Amino acid sequence: MLFFYVDSTISGLKKEYFNEDGEMRRPARRTTADMTDSFNRDLGGKAGCFVEEMQTDHLGIVVLTEDKDPLPLAGRFVRYLGLTPGATVCEEIDFATLCVHALSADRNDLLSDADDFCRALHLHLFRHPEIPFGEGILEGRSYRKLTRAMRDCLVSEQMTPEIDRIRQGRKMPGVKGHPVHYMLYTDNPDQRREMARILLDALYVNGRITNRRFGFYNMEEGGRSLINDLQYLYSINRGGAVLVRFQGENGIDDGEYAGSDRRGVEILAKMIEKYRHDVLTVLCLPLAAKGLRQMILENIPTVTMVEIREDSVDGTAARRYLRRLADEAHLTPDKTLYAALKECSSSTASSIRRVFGTWCTQAMKTIVYPQYRELVPAGTVGLREKPTGTAFDKLDAMIGLSEAKAVIRRAVNYFKYRAILSGRGIRVHQPALHMCFTGNPGTAKTTVARLVAQILTENDILPSGVFVELGRSDLVAKYVGWTADTVKRRFSEAKGGVLFIDEAYSLVDDRSGNFGDEAINTIVQEMENHREDVVVIFAGYPDKMEEFLGKNPGLRSRIAFHVPFPDYDTQELVEIAEKIAGENGCRFSDAALGKLAGLFDRLRVSEDFGNGRCARNMVESAQMHLADRLARLGCENFSDEVLGTLLPEDLEMPPLTGNLPLRRVGFAV
């Protein structure tokens, strides 16, 4: 449904409706409200009108309709009130403005009941000033203006093919619905805004969406009201578009304990599926959101997504873009700005904006306001604090891993220190940041590696935060000479982010002169070639990784940080199990916690022990037993607390593989 504000000149209004001060008398207001109710009843909930303001010579009317032209309905309403309409000015308004006008009309007795009016049109009136989502109004730019906008924000190569498809229109006129929905990838909020508006303007001008109004929602702000917020956002934007923004996180953590985030994606996916023919969805994702992308696609199997990224441009285009940003800021580019651009590992609009933002901040202090030249940047103080960003908060919140957290904090602080030196004009070379993660299965090595990619990006150490996860089969090719090209291609994919090689020792397998040796030699070479724009993280069992590094001194010398992942102790496993259960709406009774600790004590010395995976399996098994126990007793008769409480009888020792020798507990060296 579309919302409009129509300002119309009128004639035929009785002068006795107003007092000496020009204010409308109360009886006249009530008469207007009664006539409004009668008019809207005749519309049967398919449209609606009300007076928001009435003066002697003009009328302010709000019109809700499915028709893109509200003036015929507005004219009918004015004449129904016994007035003659004249010249009109019409504008489409958003839902928040509609709520303000409805409450104003109600307060001034021009509308009998704003809540009843909205309910009749299947709307829920928001009485507080902030609705749980944002809104915007499209300009409806021409193709010529959109072409220029795409060129200006460096997305022509990626967006033009889709804009051309949109312009082709429908093969069967009159049929409504959306053949595809969209994923936009960018890390910069300004870039995200412009990419989304270019796309939506093209869709609106070509009739794929009928509303100039669109809604947007930030996923991380949803909390417990997520399902209600999205349901309402989609319902009021029928015929239009909804933007869902995953901002400031470089993607949702899709690691081992990301149950709540996964739940949010599942809720969103249901809304996309439910409204796929009525509401166009545009998902705005960070550049590095590989895991998030996969999670979303897995949950919307019937929806086709068109994915659009920023262009990667050459040096000439990047410098031209920098000059435009400088002109807009009324600043003159200098050598330091172009030097910073040259050192940038990738040239997209987001990365160029990041370079410009750093330079602009320094220019404000040294050129525009030189009196502040001697003051030190906040980064100096920041060295005494933990790294910034939501990804580090997630790492910090993970149970255990104290050594891993300390090493990663030390690595980030070291690079902050190097950045401060560089900011003061002291020439520094970018050191390698390659890492080696060692630990037994289930100690969260992969989860932490993903977070490291995000942490380094959020702290401006890496430009994109892309995460490429590989094993032997992804690196070793079938024929001689192919492996080196395969490895180089993988490094190119990981440019600006992290290349994660799990069980790296499988590349050699105690053999020499084979394809694995070719892979290792090429990896060592590429680690040096990409020391400034790719972080390599090797991961595997402690003893095997030590043996692996011992075979290649060149590889060991290029690893700056060795990060141990010891086995979880019993208390940590209990805390992990409590966290997983909580994410799934359950809790352990005190007696169940005691039994759980005893089971973990026994499991920790078995060959089947899987650390965090063991805790997850234990919780899932307990929930199955809980469901079975309550089903036999009649679930519908119990309170929410009983339905979500795991008891000792729900816990059992998982079956083991046999009489295997006891494993050594702890981090092996």
Rounded Cα distance, 440 and 302, in Å: 39
Residue 470 phi/psi, 5° resolution? -135, 155
Instruction: Look up residue 583 and give its amino acid.
Output: E
Please identify which residue in the block is written with the tokens 């967006």: 159
Q: What confidence category does residue 243 fall into, taking pLDDT thresholds of 50, 70 and 90? A: very high
Tell me the longest C-alpha to C-alpha distance in the chain.
Answer: 102
Using only the alpha carbons of the chain, give its radius of gyration.
Answer: 31
Helix H segments across 1-89?
26-43, 71-80
CB atoms within 10 A of CB 653: 12
Q: What confidence category does residue 247 fall into, taking pLDDT thresholds of 50, 70 and 90? A: low
On whether the CB atoms of residues 555 and 525 are closer than 8 A, the answer is no
Q: What confidence category does residue 249 fall into, taking pLDDT thresholds of 50, 70 and 90? A: very low
Residue 163 has pLDDT above 90, yes or no: yes
Helix H segments across 121-256?
143-152, 156-167, 189-205, 226-236
Residue 640 has pLDDT above 80, yes or no: no
What is the CA angle 39-41-44, rounded to 5? 120
Residue 153 phi/psi, 5° resolution? -105, 15
CB atoms within 10 A of CB 68: 13
Rounded Cα distance, 32 and 26, in Å: 10
Residue 126 has pLDDT above 90, yes or no: no
Mean pLDDT of 223-239: 83
- Which residues lie across from 88 on neighbouring strands? 8
pLDDT confidence of residue 635: 61
Rounded Cα distance, 99 and 47, in Å: 16
On whether the CB atoms of residues 178 and 280 are closer than 8 A, the answer is yes
Give the CA distances from residue 631 to residues 20, 588, 612, 638, 644, in Å, rounded to whole numbers and listed in that order: 74, 19, 29, 11, 13
Residue 317 has pLDDT above 90, yes or no: no
pLDDT confidence of residue 339: 81
Please name the residues in contact with 49: beta carbons below 8 A apart, sequence gap of 6 or more: 36, 39, 40, 61, 62, 63, 64, 73, 74, 77
| 646-658 residue pLDDT tens | 999 988 887 765 4
Burial of 373 per CB tally in 10 Å (0-12, 13-18, 19+): exposed
On whether the CB atoms of residues 355 and 340 are closer than 8 A, the answer is yes
The H or E element spanning position 469 is strand 467-470
pLDDT confidence of residue 182: 96
What is the CA angle 577-580-581, rounded to 5? 85
| 425-445 residue pLDDT tens | 555 566 678 899 998 888 889
The H or E element spanning position 279 is none
| 35-64 residue pLDDT tens | 999 999 999 989 999 999 888 888 899 999
- Which residues lie across from 185 on neighbouring strands? 285, 309
What is the CA angle 250-251-256, rounded to 5? 125
Range picked from 170-174, 341-345, 540-544 for highest mean pLDDT: 540-544
Instruction: Look up residue 593 and give its amino acid.
Output: L
Residue 253 has pLDDT above 50, yes or no: no
pLDDT confidence of residue 378: 54
On whether the CB atoms of residues 200 and 214 are closer than 8 A, the answer is yes
On whether the CB atoms of residues 444 and 547 are closer than 8 A, the answer is no
Instruction: Look up residue 84 and give its amino acid.
Output: T
Mean pLDDT of 289-306: 88
Rounded Cα distance, 95 and 562, in Å: 54
Angle, helices 143-152/189-205, rounded to nearest 10 degrees:
160
- Outline where DSSP puts E strands in 354-443: 435-439
Rounded Cα distance, 75 and 67, in Å: 14
Q: What confidence category does residue 485 fall into, taking pLDDT thresholds of 50, 70 and 90? A: confident
Look up the pTM and report it: 0.55
Residue 622 has pLDDT above 80, yes or no: yes
The H or E element spanning position 90 is strand 84-92
DSSP sequence for 553-570: HHHHHT--EEEEEPPP-H
What tokens appear for 520 in the block? 């290792």
What tokens appear for 167 in the block? 């312009």
pLDDT confidence of residue 422: 64
455 compared with 638, residue with greater pLDDT: 455
| 301-316 residue pLDDT tens | 999 999 999 888 888 8
